[in-house]
Amino acid sequence: MNWELLQDSLVIALNGSAMLAMGLALPVSSVMHSVKEVGPLSRGLAINLFLAPLIAWGLAMAFEFSAAAALGLMICAAAPGGNTGPLLSSNAKGNLAYSVTLVIILSFASLLTVPLFLELLGTGEGMEIPLGKILILIGLFHILPLLLGMLGHHWKPGLAHIWSRYFRILANVCLVVLTILLLWLKGEILIANGWKPALAMALFVAALLLLGLTAGKSAGHMRSLSMTTATRNLSLSLLLGAQVFSDPATMIAILTYGLLWVCITVPLSFWLGSGATESHSTI
């Protein structure tokens, strides 16, 4: 069996179904109020688009990552707008409309930030970044499904809500199968890399969580910004790792972030929500 082909197919299915699910669940009118909140949006964009890549670059240098592993961390850092950010924000009883609005803007901004930061900070010695291919992949498997989902919600909101659940289930199934497959096929690289990459990834997630908790406008904004910022676009990162960069260490670095992100942010989101009141800003 061609396991590499199965891996690439799962990554594409994960990315497309996740973005389509978010678009189908998104009423455009619900985010208009959040767009007008210039201050919180500006802080969220600054943290996600500029501070996160700089933190990742500093950690990669401090922990002396290999070029391929540093590239994996930089892909995660430069790809904001993970579509599970609103889900974690909901668990934490944050401002859900703010989280959704931030994710949408970051999804489009990633068209510029991913190739920009990979070019400026993410290249190892002698490593070339195929900018054109990255832009095509982001547009085809990331932005296009999101737009199609939003259009579907606009035309048939009731039907779109139903189909959103199905595509979300498909995305979760793809993520679980892909994680198991990667650990089985390439898990030895994770062990061979030692403790330093795992510690660096954990520090990266923790730094983003703390930034969000200290930069929000209100308690609801802070919880949403924290969850949304720590949730990088894992599906897009896996897509780029599978389709653009061939070194297995790059994909393992991305997977390491994904595993640590789940272990840290998911329990934290429920803990934050257990002692908070429900935000009134919902989609």
pTM (predicted TM-score): 0.77
CA distances from 23 to 6, 40, 146, 253 (A): 26, 22, 5, 28
> Do residues 172 and 140 make contact, with C-beta atoms less than 8 angstroms apart?
no
What are the structural domain ranges in the chain? 3-272
The amino acid present at 105, given as its one-letter code, is I
- The pLDDT of residue 148 is 92
- The pLDDT of residue 280 is 42
Tokens of 211: 């930034």
- The pLDDT of residue 125 is 46
- The pLDDT of residue 33 is 63
Q: What angle do CA 179, 87, 43 make, to 5 degrees?
A: 105
Q: Which residues contact 104 (CB under 8 A, 6 or more apart)?
A: 26, 31, 81, 146
Can you tell me the distance from the alpha carbon of 248 to that of 255, in angstroms, rounded to the nearest whole number?
11
Q: What is the pLDDT of residues 151-161, one digit of tens each?
A: 999 899 889 98
Tokens of 275: 């002692």
> Token match 């919902």: residue?
282
Can you tell me the distance from the alpha carbon of 75 to that of 68, in angstroms, rounded to the nearest whole number?
11
**Mean pLDDT of all residues belonging to the chain:** 81
> Tens place of pLDDT for every residue, the chain, 283 residues?
777 788 778 888 887 888 888 788 777 766 666 666 777 888 899 999 999 999 999 999 999 888 888 888 998 998 888 777 877 887 888 887 788 788 878 877 877 787 788 777 645 444 555 667 777 877 887 788 888 988 999 899 889 989 988 998 898 788 778 778 877 776 666 666 678 888 999 999 999 999 998 886 788 889 999 999 999 988 778 878 877 777 888 888 888 888 888 888 888 988 988 876 554 444 4
CATH architecture of 3-272: Up-down Bundle (1.20)
